[in-house]
């Protein structure tokens, strides 16, 4: 199977995973608000936010492991037996690191998090919340140990398999969570399900990895100090970069909980969930391309490298532009259809986070290409952005409420990552700015303008309908316009010919 086909499979599976994630997030969000008191629901959303902080204790080992595996596959001078032995040694070394980190999370997270939650939880619910938190920490430790098989699948190029496992785990978790809430197990039941689904996913990932690469079962990996030294530096650089991203994108609920109270979290999180889902969807091609970019870089084929990278940027930005423009107009109705009235955080919050998403997708897609080469150069800008966001959030939340939290994210990113990541990518990868403006930026501006006008028109025309019908009809119309614009303004002539050829081939096969 050629690289383009494997990337396409990765994108397709990524789309399936994102759809599943959307389904799970939206359905579970609604169920939690129906079955739990607002303060307990806010506590669970806070758990999930802190869970992202806990995932930081991976310390960048998973992405580094995946990239190093990709490098071994792209180094043609190594015979297959040596490639697999090196991969097994990498995995054994990473597992040792994961075990130590998971133990640290279990001990530190359970104790420190428990004390913190006890201080902000409602008096009558504090004990229940703290018990759920300890169970949640056990699940977080299990998830850290599961980083190895997922990273190996990703590094070997089985992006589709890795993502389908994640999708299956989420669906099983949703069903179990719904049952637990219905039976009255509350937040403790949610935490137990979260821990068990992590274990299930880890076991499934190992099984599928050995199915795809049976030679790994014949090679005994050994932890190596040489490999440890090799992966420590890039892993820590990645970790600091990830910490900056976490401080930037995942501190909102923490700031709100400590200033406005747990009850204010759901309205903010509703918009954040939509913005995050859009961002994840938009980065599918770029993320799926990363292991193949690493292979091309290891093979010194920079022409193919830049073609794949810029294609991911163009497609991801086009998708983002269509839905950012639509949600900027229909965001209130989308949340009303999803959660009912009373949970829309306001257009200022929505517009601020949508602008952030548009700029975020742009710089992250380019940064993925740079980091696929092994250059982890975004450490300090990301960290500075995170610290700046935390400071601004605590300053702005008092006069502006949850809008101040959203505004802090946008300002901190504008001052750091949004301009620095593209600058580094253009410089290190020899991307022509003039060509980039013509092929990427201009089409995106056209799409934004056309879709905003189309969405405003559709909202006016469907104003008398029920919100659900207004959203569905308008989204269908906007999607058609968006696809047409993407084909005409985003795809190159060669890409349009390939698309037409594949459509014809599908018709003949049918």
Does 439 lie in the same domain as 373?
Answer: yes
pLDDT value at position 75? 55
Q: What is the DSSP letter of 20?
A: H
Residue 459 to residue 479: CA distance in whole angstroms: 14
Per residue in 150-187, pLDDT tens? 877 777 777 777 878 888 888 888 899 999 998 988 88
Q: What is the DSSP letter of 262?
A: G
Residue for token pair 């599943």: 20
Give, for 136, the enclosing helix (H) or strand (E).
Answer: helix 126-145
pLDDT, average across residues 420-438: 87
Domain, as residue range, for 474: 261-510
Using the 3D structure, point to which of 223, 244, 277 is the last residue of a domain: 223
pLDDT value at position 28? 85
Q: Which residues contact 308 (CB under 8 A, 6 or more apart)?
A: 3, 7, 289, 292, 293, 296
For residue 318, is pLDDT > 80?
yes
Residue 413 to residue 48: CA distance in whole angstroms: 23
Does 493 lie in the same domain as 441?
Answer: yes
Q: Which residues contact 196 (CB under 8 A, 6 or more apart)?
A: 139, 176
Per residue in 76-107, pLDDT tens? 566 667 777 777 777 778 778 878 877 877 77
DSSP string, 176-239: HHHHHHHTT-HHHHHHHHHHHHHHHHHHHHHHHHHHH-GGGGGS-----HHHHHHHHHHHHHHH
Does 207 lie in the same domain as 288?
Answer: no
pLDDT value at position 487? 82
Does 284 lie in the same domain as 216?
Answer: no
Residue 305, both tokens: 């490298």
For residue 44, is pLDDT > 70?
yes
pLDDT value at position 357? 93
For residue 5, is pLDDT > 70?
no
169 occurs within a structural domain: yes
Residue for token pair 């004990």: 127
Per residue in 332-348, pLDDT tens? 999 988 888 878 888 99
Does 266 lie in the same domain as 217?
Answer: no
Residue for token pair 């469907």: 462
**84 or 120: which leads in pLDDT:** 84
Average pLDDT of every residue of the chain = 81
**33 or 9: which leads in pLDDT:** 33
Using the 3D structure, point to which of 223, 247, 281 is the last residue of a domain: 223
Confidence label for 14 from pLDDT (cuts 50, 70 and 90): low
Residue for token pair 């029920």: 466
Does 312 lie in the same domain as 178?
Answer: no
For residue 509, is pLDDT > 90?
no
pTM score, two decimals? 0.68
DSSP string, 451-494: HHHHHHHHHHHTTTS-HHHHHHHHHHHHHHHHHHHIIIIIS-HH
pLDDT value at position 412? 93
Does 279 lie in the same domain as 386?
Answer: yes
For residue 389, is pLDDT > 60?
yes
Per residue in 140-150, pLDDT tens? 888 877 777 88
233 occurs within a structural domain: no
228 occurs within a structural domain: no
Does 97 lie in the same domain as 45?
Answer: yes
Residue 260, both tokens: 């406005």
Per residue in 62-74, pLDDT tens? 777 777 777 766 5
For residue 3, is pLDDT > 60?
no
For residue 457, is pLDDT > 60?
yes
Using the 3D structure, point to which of 162, 193, 223 is the last residue of a domain: 223
pLDDT, average across residues 127-139: 83
245 occurs within a structural domain: no
Q: How many residues are present in the chain? A: 510
Residue 259 to residue 394: CA distance in whole angstroms: 8
CB atoms within 10 A of CB 2: 7
pLDDT value at position 292? 76
Does 184 lie in the same domain as 293?
Answer: no
- Is 312:286 a contact under the CB 8 Å cutoff? yes
Residue 505 to residue 510: CA distance in whole angstroms: 9
pLDDT, average across residues 279-302: 78
Does 2 lie in the same domain as 87?
Answer: yes
Q: Calculate the CA 405 to chain-centre distance.
A: 20
pLDDT, average across residues 253-262: 81
Q: Which residues contact 106 (CB under 8 A, 6 or more apart)?
A: 137, 138, 140, 141
Among 15-24, 87-96, 118-127, 314-323, the range of highest mean pLDDT = 314-323
Overall domain count for the chain: 2
């Amino acid at each position: 199977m050629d690289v383009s086909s494997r990337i396409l499979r990765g994108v397709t599976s990524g789309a399936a995973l994102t759809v599943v994630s959307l389904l799970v997030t939206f359905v579970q969000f609604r169920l939690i608000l129906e079955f739990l008191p607002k303060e307990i629901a806010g506590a669970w959303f806070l758990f999930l936010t802190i869970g992202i902080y806990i995932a930081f204790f991976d310390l960048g080992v998973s992405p580094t492991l995946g990239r190093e595996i990709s490098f071994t596959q792209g180094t043609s001078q190594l015979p297959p037996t040596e490639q697999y032995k090196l991969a097994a040694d990498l995995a054994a070394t990473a597992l040792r690191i994961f075990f130590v980190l998971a133990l640290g999370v279990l001990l530190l997270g359970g104790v420190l998090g428990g004390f913190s939650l006890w201080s902000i939880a409602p008096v009558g619910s504090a004990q229940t919340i703290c018990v759920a938190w300890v169970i949640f920490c056990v699940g977080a430790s299990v998830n850290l140990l599961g980083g190895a098989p997922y990273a190996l699948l990703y590094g070997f190029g089985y992006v589709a398999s890795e993502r389908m496992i994640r999708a299956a785990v989420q669906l099983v978790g949703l069903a179990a969570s719904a049952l637990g809430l219905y039976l009255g197990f509350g937040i403790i039941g949610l935490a137990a399900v979260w821990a068990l689904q992590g274990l299930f996913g880890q076991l499934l990932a190992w099984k599928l990895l050995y199915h795809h690469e049976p030679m790994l079962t014949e090679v005994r990996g050994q932890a190596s100090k040489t490999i440890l030294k090799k992966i420590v530096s890039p892993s820590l650089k990645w970790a600091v970069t990830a910490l900056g991203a976490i401080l930037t994108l995942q501190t909102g609920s923490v700031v709100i909980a400590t200033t406005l109270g747990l009850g204010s979290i759901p309205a903010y999180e509703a918009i954040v969930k939509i913005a995050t889902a859009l961002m994840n969807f938009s980065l599918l091609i770029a993320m799926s391309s990363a292991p193949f970019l690493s292979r091309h870089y290891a093979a010194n084929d920079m022409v193919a490298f830049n073609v794949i990278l810029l294609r991911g940027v163009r497609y991801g930005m086009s998708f983002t532009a269509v839905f950012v423009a639509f949600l900027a107009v229909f965001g209130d109705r989308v949340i009303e259809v999803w959660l009912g009235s009373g949970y829309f955080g306001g257009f200022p919050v929505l517009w601020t986070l949508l602008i952030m998403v548009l700029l975020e997708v742009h710089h992250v897609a380019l940064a993925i290409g740079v980091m696929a080469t092994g250059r982890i150069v975004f450490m300090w800008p990301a960290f500075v952005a995170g610290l700046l966001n935390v400071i601004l959030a605590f300053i702005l939340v008092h006069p502006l409420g949850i809008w101040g939290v959203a505004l802090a994210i946008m300002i901190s990113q504008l001052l750091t990552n949004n301009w620095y990541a593209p600058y580094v990518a253009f410089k290190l990868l020899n991307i022509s700015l003039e060509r980039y403006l013509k092929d990427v930026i201009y089409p995106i501006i056209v799409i934004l303008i056309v879709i905003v006008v189309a969405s405003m028109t559709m909202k006016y025309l469907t104003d008398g309908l029920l919100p659900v019908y207004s959203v569905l009809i308008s989204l269908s119309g906007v999607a058609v316009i968006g696809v047409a614009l993407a084909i005409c303004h985003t795809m190159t002539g060669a890409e349009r010919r390939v698309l037409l050829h594949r459509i014809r081939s599908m018709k003949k096969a049918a």
